[in-house]
Structure 1
């Protein structure tokens, strides 16, 4: 871990906080590695519950690091996709329930981290979206596979095709988050849920999680592999370069 990620554990509840509030907690390579290290530490500590959130008042995780992605070629993009996939698969397979405390923006890779969690609790200020289409790419860390399972096929297609950003209330209606609370009550509510889960039989919870995950394993593995290849192939295209350059320059992209 490093100064981009904070880790703490109390009463069997581990909390991982992405701590780059000046960058809206965007995920650069360093932070991805630090998150994976924090997950490993939580597993070694035998955490009974894991909470993932973002520092500051604005963002959970606003996405991947576009300034890093902008000039990637397919080979480098594949390596970056693999980092994201490995992280979120580790969250999904973590041997205890994982709660996403979504305190603000959760876009792109940030939304995909939330999708990898067992439960999602959103502040009323949260805004969630698979916004990759605006950058000339697609979700590359599992969004094309996990989102349809959560909200249904057509809803997922609309969210991904249009890059829609949905507020917390709409996200709850769509089934994208389990509940919405007042912003200043978010962490109290998550603490209550985590404490209740931590009091449950740990082995039974781990078994329940593994059994539920198993129901998705077959087709998801093939789908994730396809997504990674497809995401990778978009790097080096005009639309990928233009989308990311336009984002960094704060202008509208001119796609082909």
Structure 2
């Protein structure tokens, strides 16, 4: 199952909860899609953390048993739903942090790639092992991984199918932070709590502009920046930020 916890500081935590390895079923994929849609309009959540239940796994990939059951049209539906779930995370207008508490393999790795940043516990193992099953990373890993770590390193990761350690993932830029075992969620909460205090319009605009910059030309990016800046300069949060700076106090954003 997938469950949501809301903290008092406008931080939400989405738990992937399917012990022992938190594998991803079709039903859970659909639950993620539904939950992300609901959270888009939830003012009680400014920043979202995605993590796995327990300390063993973030998500060890898709439920292999379902691959034995599915055929043709059902396979297509499963893959479409998985890609839809990853896009719902990537296109979520608010910041998303992946707290990798253990194995992040296959679809689990692909979930983390759709997030804005990744925090890995030292015991985490991260990889795209689909090739060992005669498959390939079909839920976004193919195109998101090279964008983060470069084509050559991404190909090496996918050709081998072997997982890498949290330390190696940090070295190649796949994760942003490494923590002690059991502490990835703690750091994620700390960062999320800090970000949740930032003006919501700025958070949304930054994410939108950075994400879209990967898809458009420099000229288009400049034009989009100008348009977004015009909207931001009309917000009350910007006025409050300027007042607070001049008055040498902490701003109170909406």
TM over 0.5: yes
Runs of 4+ more than 4 Å apart: none
User: When the two structures are superposed, what TM-score results if normalisation uses the length of structure 1?
Assistant: 0.81
- Cα distance in 1, alignment partners of residues 35 and 198 from structure 2: 23
Cα RMSD of the aligned pairs, angstroms, is 1.4
Equivalence for 1:161: 159
Equivalence for 2:37: 40
Q: CA deviation at 1:71?
A: 4.2
Instruction: Report the secondary structure of 2:183's partner residue.
Output: helix
Q: CA deviation at 1:189?
A: 1.0
Equivalence for 2:5: 8
**Which deviations, in whole Å up to 9, do the C-alpha atoms of 1:70-119 show, x marking residues without a partner?**
34334322211111111110100101100000000000000000000001
Equivalence for 1:249: none
Equivalence for 1:122: 120
Structure 1 stretches of 5 or more lacking a match?
220-256
Alignment of 1:24-173 (within 5 A): 24-46=21-43, 47-173=45-171
2:51 and 2:185 in contact (8 A); partners too: no
User: When the two structures are superposed, what TM-score results if normalisation uses the length of structure 2?
Assistant: 0.81
Equivalence for 1:17: 15
2:55 and 2:182 in contact (8 A); partners too: no
1:158 and 1:164 in contact (8 A); partners too: no
Name the stretch that deviates more: 64-73 or 79-88: 64-73
- Cα distance in 2, alignment partners of residues 151 and 74 from structure 1: 33
Q: Structure with the greater relative contact order (CA < 8 A, sep ≥ 6): 1 or 2?
A: 1
Equivalence for 1:240: none
User: Does residue 213 in structure 1 map to residue 211 in structure 2?
Assistant: yes
2:98 and 2:119 in contact (8 A); partners too: yes
Distance 1:140 1:64, change over 3 A: same
- Cα distance in 2, alignment partners of residues 30 and 206 from structure 1: 29
